[in-house]
Amino acid sequence: MRTALICDYLEEQWHSMDLCAEMLFAHWRTDSRFQLDQVRPPFQPRLTWFPKLGKVAFNSDRLLNRFWDYPNYVKQIAYQFDAFHVCDHTYAQLVHELPANRTGVYCHDIDAFRSLIEPEQEPRPRWYRAMSQRILDGLQKAAIVFYSTETVRQQIEHYQLVDCDRLIHAPYGISPEFSIESNEVLPEAIQSPFILHVGSCIPRKRIDVLLDVFAELSQAHPELQLVKVSGEWTDEQNQQLDRLNIRAKVIHLWNLPTSMIAALYRRAEVVLLTSEAEGFGLPLIESLACGAIAVVSDLPVFREVAKDAAIYCPVGNISAWVKAIVTVLNNPNQAPAQSRRLEIASQYSWQKHAEIIRQAYLRLG
C-alpha cells in the first residue's frame, strides 16, 4: 500500500501542523508494503513579489495556492497512490480532487468552520464563508476523519459536521527531545527566572490574559521574565506591552529547534497556556514530559489531556491566575507531583498515533 501524506505549505509556518506531518512520516512503519510519501507542491508566489502589499499579498497567494495550485497538483498525482492522508483539515478542499473513498483527513479542531456553525459569534464576509464551506464539504466527503481528543469529537457530533461512524481517535504524541534530561544552554538573553508561553498569538490563545497576568506577577516578582516562543505580536498586543510597561521583561523567540524548546520547558518556573479554546494543546503534554509545572485554562480538552497533572484557572480571570502562579512560585511542592506529570505525558506516543492511522487505511483497502 502506497499512501500520500498531504502536507501544509511550509511557507504558511503552521508549526504544529508541520510537526504532526513530520512525526507521522517519521513513525510510519519502515515496511515496503506500507510506503508513505510526503506530498507538498512548490508554493507559487505571485503578489508577494510586491512587498508594498504586505500581508494582503501573502494571504492572497495562500488562497491561490490552497484553492488552485494544490488541487490541480493532487489531481495529477492521484493515480499514483492507494490512499491519501490530509494532515490538516483546513486543506480538506483537496478531497474534492481525490478518490474520497480512499482519503482521510485529520480534524484538529473546528475553528475553521465557526463562521458556518456560529455565524453570530464569528461573522465573516461571504467569500470567507464560501471558502470555509468548500473545506467543510471536502471534510464531509472523506472516508475517514481522525481527531485528537473526545472534546473535538463531541464538537463534531454536536454540530453534525461528520458522520460518527467515520471518526477515529488518534491522539498526538511527544517527541523524544521532550524529557527531563538535557544539556542545552539557554539563550544569553535569559538571565533570570522566567515563565514560559509556547504558541501563536491568534485570538483564541488569549495573549491579552498572558500579558496582564505577567504584569501583575512582575510587581511582586520584579526579577521575573516572560519568555514567549513563536507567534507575532498583533497591534493590540504591542499596545498592551507598552501600556503595561513590561516590554523590557519580555523575551520573544522564534524558529527554535525542538531541543531548545524542551530546554525552556525544563528551566521555566511555570508554563502558561491561557487559551480560551484548543483542540488538544501540544505544549501542555510537551511541558509535562519535561517535568514542568503547567498552569492552564480550565478547558474540558486540557482536563482530558492532562487530568490532574496540571493546575487549572478560569479563562480570563486574572486574579485567579496570579494567585495560582504565586502559590507555586513560592512553593513548587504545591503543584502536582513531578512523577504524576511524567506519568501522564508517558501515555502519549507518536508511534501509537502513526499505527492507528496506518491501520485505518489498511482497513479501507
What is the share, in percent, of the chain residues with pLDDT greater than 90? 88
Please give the grid coordinates belonging to residue 167: 471518526
User: What pLDDT does 50 receive?
Assistant: 77
pLDDT of 210-260, one tens digit each? 999 999 999 999 999 999 999 999 999 999 999 999 999 999 999 899 999
User: What pLDDT does 56 receive?
Assistant: 85
Query: Partners of 146 in the beta sheet?
Result: 106, 168
- d(C-alpha 9, C-alpha 90), whole Å: 12
Is residue 33 pLDDT above 80, yes or no?
Answer: no
Three-class SS of 77-114 = HHHHCCEEEECCHHHHHHHHHCCHHHEEEEECCCHHHH
Enter the pTM of the model: 0.92
pLDDT of 191-213, one tens digit each? 889 999 999 999 999 999 999 99
Mean pLDDT, the chain, rounded, equals: 95
User: What pLDDT does 31 receive?
Assistant: 64
pLDDT of 249-307, one tens digit each? 999 999 899 999 999 999 999 999 999 999 999 999 999 999 999 999 999 999 999 99
Tell me what percent of the chain is helix, strand and coil, each rounded to the nearest 5: 55, 15, 35
pLDDT of 96-140, one tens digit each? 999 999 999 999 999 999 999 999 999 999 999 999 999 999 999
Phi, psi of 229 (to 5 degrees): -105, 125
- d(C-alpha 8, C-alpha 5), whole Å: 10
pLDDT of 145-192, one tens digit each? 999 999 999 999 999 999 999 999 999 999 999 999 877 788 888 988
Residue 70 one-letter amino acid: Y
